[in-house]
Structures are given as C-alpha cells and as structure tokens.
Amino acid sequence: MEKTMPRKERAAFVLETLENLYPTVPIPLDHKDPYTLLIAVLLSAQCTDERVNKVTPYLFAIADNPHDMSKVAVEKIQEIIRPCGLSPKKSKAISELSKILIDQHEGIVPQSFEALEALPGVGHKTASVVMSQAFGVPAFPIDTHIHRLAFRWCLSTGKNVEKTEFDLKKLFPIESWNRLHLQIIFFGREYCPARGHIPSVCPICSKIGRKELFT
C-alpha cells in the first residue's frame, strides 16, 4: 500500500502548489468597505458568492451603510435578498446589526472577533472573513470547501469546522492564513470538487497520498 506524506510535508506541498497556481487571490464577494463586506458575507451563508454579487448591488443601492440600512423596513430588505435564501432570518439580522453598529459602535464595523460575533447573524466564520479581508487580521475562515479539502488531504480529521480551523492554524504559518483560505476555496472549485473528482488528475491529490483517501 502506498504511503502518504507526513502531515507537515503535505501541508508544505499544498502551500507551495497553491502559491504557484494562485499568486494573487481576489476577494470573491463584491464590496467597498467593511460594512458592505459584512453584509455580503452574511448573505453568503448557504448561498453562492455569484448569487450574492448579483443581489447586493440592489440592496446597496438603497442602503450601503448602517445609518441608511437601519431605516429600511425589514420587509423591503427581505424582498431584495430573497434569491440568497433564508431571507426572513437574514433580513432581520441585517436590520438589527445595523442598529447595533449605530448604538454601540458609532456606525463603524468593530475590529474584534468578540464584538463581531456578538452581532445578530454573525458567527465565527463570518467574523473571520471580515477580520481577514476587511482588516488584514490573521484568520482562517473555514467554509465547506476548506473543511472538505482539509479532510481529503489528510490535514485534519474533519470532525467539525472548529477542529479543522485548529488543525490548519497549527500546520500553516500565520502570515499565509489570509491568502491561503481563499486559495483553497479557488482550488476546490477548479480542481477538487466534492463530486466528479478525479484524484489522478488533481494537482494536489495525485501527489500527496493514497488515492483511496481522496474519494
């Protein structure tokens, strides 16, 4: 039976491969500032980035800051964001968090995990994306692509997203986190999908271990 690389060697190979394939990584969600990024990330839950990017121009045309958004009826927000799914819950969260930003943070998106995660509709993953992409704070947001590939590449046990985040933060240098989580997402979409994946032609799976681990 073919042996797998040690975990640290696999991690180093993954990092090198992704740096070569994606030397620059654009932020997938269209936004202009921390607030519009926060709203876009909130909308992306169980929704594709592509669909979010089609919806947010309509939403931000009527309100692209907490002060304006707090004045928009929840029903109006829900009507606009309906294509993103979970619109009743998301519209209420957008309205409430906008009011909290005004009341507690002077209308500014806070630059701390604790404050962000205290906002309605904002979990650890959403907070991590905002801290990473809006403020440049090292974070490793774990989405479904990253969770799946960390397990597929034997970098984490894959028991839950918390464990995956812990394992990846231990394996990769902190200065790589903000780029790497995006690189993994792009790679998963292009080369390493959940379905129809062919390990023998995948630039990573074909190199780092037994093929039966990557089904």
Question: Do the two domains 7-26+140-214 and 34-133 of this chain adopt the same fold?
Answer: no
Residues with a known catalytic role: 125, 143
Query: Residue 157 has what pLDDT?
Result: 86
Burial 154-176 (b: 16+ CB within 10 A, else e): bbbebeebebbbebbeebbeeeb
The total of other beta-carbon atoms located within 10 Å of residue 6's CB is 10
Q: Which residues are CB-contacts of 214 (< 8 A; sequence separation ≥ 6)? A: 152, 153, 197, 199, 202, 205
Q: CA-CA distance, 36 to 62, in Å (whole number)? A: 12
What kind and span of H or E run contains 186?
Answer: helix 177-190
CATH of segment(s) 34-133: 1.10.340.30
Task: Answer whether 47's CB lies under 8 Å from 89's CB.
Answer: no
Any idea where the domains of the chain sit in the sequence? 7-26+140-214, 34-133
Indicate the fold that domain 7-26+140-214 takes in CATH: Endonuclease Iii, domain 2 (1.10.1670)
Q: CA-CA distance, 61 to 121, in Å (whole number)? A: 22
Query: Residue 145 has what pLDDT?
Result: 86
pLDDT truncated to tens, each residue of the chain (215 aa)?
Answer: 345 678 899 999 999 999 999 999 999 999 999 999 999 999 999 999 999 999 999 999 999 999 999 999 999 999 999 999 999 999 999 999 999 999 999 999 999 999 999 999 999 999 999 999 999 999 999 988 899 999 999 999 878 999 999 999 999 999 999 999 999 999 999 999 988 888 889 999 998 864 444 33
* Torsion angles phi and psi, residue 3, rounded to 5: -80, 150
Task: Answer whether 16's CB lies under 8 Å from 208's CB.
Answer: no
CB half-sphere exposure, 101, CA atoms < 13 A? 26
Q: Which residues are CB-contacts of 186 (< 8 A; sequence separation ≥ 6)? A: 21, 22, 25
Q: Which residues are CB-contacts of 29 (< 8 A; sequence separation ≥ 6)? A: 37, 40, 41, 44, 49, 52, 53, 56
Q: Which amino acid is at 198?
A: I
Task: Answer whether 195's CB lies under 8 Å from 145's CB.
Answer: no
